[in-house]
């Protein structure tokens, strides 16, 4: 078992979330959910490793469920549970660098956690449920070390009435029906941040978007499946018709897809924005119109599988590394599909930002502005300006290497600026100071040749 990822301290935007004194390596979640009563029963088993100091207390993030049992290494442990923290005290301090397990059995009615951006986490739908946890909603449904840098593998088993399909990020390893209930078991071996684990429950039809995996050889493309109400299939077939092409294009510019499969869910309700999760993207009925009006969002969520999910932020002040690259992916796909060029999108974004207040520092926007539309646009612009400075050949090599070298890890802005400098013929300090650290909007340089 490898040592936990280094962490200098709590997330500056969410210091009350997470515990830097240990790292989780694996979560095994056994859940039973009854949609009609919105009742969740769960057992969570965490396999973890202590940091460099003895550990007297294991702090987990968890909403106010009823706790039935807590074990540490198979032994009953004392605990307190208030203010969103389950604090577990093992019988004796855990030694530095020691592996340990925590098991929590709990029940309750999951509900979204309050935040400046609305409810986060487990959301009861009219007929089903979904999870949308970014940035700190994961404790709404399972006990976790809720910090994006603490990435772990997951096995999620969920039992629910057989009328419902359960979708979780990862590979479906079994589906077992007994009487009127079905148990779905998913395995996600790739390191995953707690907020990127999702569950979607609905009366869905599964639609394969790629050919079945051959039994006698490797699959030629990433397996992709859609889950949606059957009545929406005609519109979906138009709006998502080019996702497989999009996947191939993004692999050519970003490198190999970082996960074993990709799923999209269209839930039978309207959503303000699609929901990002590891290996899964969830859309609302309002994102389907049979005219590809929301195709940029299809590109945005797919790009997040590289930028945000595989290459994750170490803490939330660096969110532009997720959103800037996903925004630029929208522009790259637009150009590839014969629409507006990247230069055209950059010019439009610059005009938009020039008419808005210039008080946002991209590399540290502050908690209240981390989802500001200006961060997305300026993030995309910063990536475009870097492309102008490097030239296409160096830029796209830099991009593929960034996604490859930091695959399944957590990064900060300084990691990216140091990485990009390796591909530049002259110092990039001025560019990064102006675009990342100063709030005023710099002028837009000349655009690169069309790729």
Domains of the chain, CATH where assigned = 1-200 (2.60.40.1730), 313-437 (1.10.390.10)
Q: 235-274, pLDDT tens digit by residue?
A: 999 999 999 999 999 999 999 999 999 999 999 999 999 9
pLDDT at residue 211, rounded to an integer: 81
φ, ψ at 244 (rounded to 5°):
-65, -35
| % of the chain residues with pLDDT over 70 | 95
Give the list of residues 6+ apart from residue 189 with CB closer than 8 angstroms, or none: 153, 170, 260
For range 405-433, the mean pLDDT:
98
For range 278-307, the mean pLDDT:
98
For range 149-159, the mean pLDDT:
98
pLDDT at residue 446, rounded to an integer: 67
pLDDT at residue 215, rounded to an integer: 61
pLDDT at residue 7, rounded to an integer: 52
With 70 as the cut, is the pLDDT of residue 116 above it?
Answer: yes
pLDDT at residue 447, rounded to an integer: 45
pLDDT at residue 277, rounded to an integer: 97
Residues 162, 399: Cα–Cα separation, whole Å: 44
Strands 165-168 and 152-161: unpaired
pLDDT bracket for residue 234 (50, 70, 90): very high
pTM: 0.95
pLDDT at residue 4, rounded to an integer: 39
Q: Where is 254: in which H helix or E strand?
A: helix 243-254
Query: 3-class secondary structure for 134-170?
Result: CCCCHHHCCCECCCCCCCEEEEEEEEEECCCEEEECC
Region of poorest pLDDT, from 5-9, 72-76, 104-108, 437-441? 5-9
DSSP 8-state code for residue 36 = T
For range 64-72, the mean pLDDT:
98
Region of poorest pLDDT, from 3-17, 51-65, 268-282? 3-17
Residues 323, 314: Cα–Cα separation, whole Å: 14
For range 120-126, the mean pLDDT:
97
Residues 236, 207: Cα–Cα separation, whole Å: 10
For range 334-354, the mean pLDDT:
98
Give the list of residues 6+ apart from residue 336 with CB closer than 8 angstroms, or none: 249, 451
Q: 92-111, pLDDT tens digit by residue?
A: 999 999 999 999 999 999 99
pLDDT at residue 319, rounded to an integer: 98
CB 297 within 8 A of CB 281: no
Residues 438, 432: Cα–Cα separation, whole Å: 9
pLDDT at residue 413, rounded to an integer: 98
For range 222-245, the mean pLDDT:
97
For range 157-162, the mean pLDDT:
98
Of residues 211 and 69, the one with the higher pLDDT is 69
Query: Alpha helix locations (H) across 286-368?
Result: 295-303, 320-336, 342-354
pLDDT at residue 451, rounded to an integer: 35
Structure tokens belonging to residue 75: 């032994």
Of residues 85 and 6, the one with the higher pLDDT is 85
With 90 as the cut, is the pLDDT of residue 6 above it?
Answer: no
pLDDT at residue 450, rounded to an integer: 37
In whole numbers, what is the pLDDT of the chain averaged over residues? 95
Structure tokens belonging to residue 199: 């569950």
Structure tokens belonging to residue 188: 């996600």
């Amino acid at each position: 078992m490898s040592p936990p990822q280094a962490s200098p301290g709590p997330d500056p935007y969410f210091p009350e979330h997470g515990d830097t004194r240990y790292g989780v390596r694996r979560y095994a979640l056994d859940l039973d959910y009854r949609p009609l009563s919105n009742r969740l029963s769960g057992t969570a088993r965490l396999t973890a490793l202590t940091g460099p100091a003895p550990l007297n207390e294991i702090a987990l993030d968890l909403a106010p469920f009823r706790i039935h049992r807590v074990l540490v290494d198979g032994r009953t442990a004392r605990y307190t549970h208030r203010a969103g923290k389950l604090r577990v005290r093992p019988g004796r301090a855990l030694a530095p660098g020691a592996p340990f397990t925590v098991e929590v059995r709990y029940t309750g009615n999951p509900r979204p956690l309050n935040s400046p951006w609305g409810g986060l986490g487990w959301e009861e739908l009219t007929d089903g449920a979904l999870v949308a946890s970014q940035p700190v909603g994961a404790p709404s449904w399972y006990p976790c070390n809720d910090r994006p840098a603490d990435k772990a593998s997951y096995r999620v088993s969920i039992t629910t009435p057989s009328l419902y399909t359960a979708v979780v990020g990862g590979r479906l390893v079994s589906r077992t029906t007994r009487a009127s209930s079905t148990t779905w078991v998913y395995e996600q071996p790739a390191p995953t941040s707690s907020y990127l684990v999702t569950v979607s429950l609905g009366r869905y039809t599964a639609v394969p978007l790629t050919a079945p995996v051959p039994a006698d050889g490797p699959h030629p493309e990433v397996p992709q499946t859609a889950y949606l109400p059957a009545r929406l299939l005609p519109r979906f077939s138009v709006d998502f018709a080019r996702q497989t092409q999009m996947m191939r294009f993004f692999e050519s510019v970003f490198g190999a897809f970082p996960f074993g499969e990709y799923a999209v869910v269209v839930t039978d309700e309207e959503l303000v924005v699609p929901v990002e999760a590891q290996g899964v993207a969830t859309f609302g009925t309002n994102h389907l119109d049979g005219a590809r009006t929301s195709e940029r969002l299809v590109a945005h969520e797919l790009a997040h599988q590289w930028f945000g999910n595989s290459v994750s932020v170490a803490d939330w002040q660096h969110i532009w590394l997720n959103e800037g690259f996903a925004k630029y992916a929208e522009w790259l796909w637009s150009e590839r599909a014969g629409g507006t060029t990247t230069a055209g999108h950059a010019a439009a974004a610059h005009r938009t930002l020039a008419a808005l207040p210039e008080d946002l520092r991209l590399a540290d926007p502050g908690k209240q502005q981390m989802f500001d539309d200006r961060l997305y646009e300026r993030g995309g612009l910063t990536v475009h300006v870097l492309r102008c400075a490097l030239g296409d050949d160096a830029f796209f090599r830099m991009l593929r290497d960034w996604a490859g070298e930091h695959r399944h890890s957590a990064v900060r802005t300084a990691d990216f600026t140091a990485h990009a400098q390796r591909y530049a013929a002259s110092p990039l300090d001025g560019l990064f100071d102006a675009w990342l650290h100063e709030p005023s909007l710099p002028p837009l340089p000349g655009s690169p040749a069309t790729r």
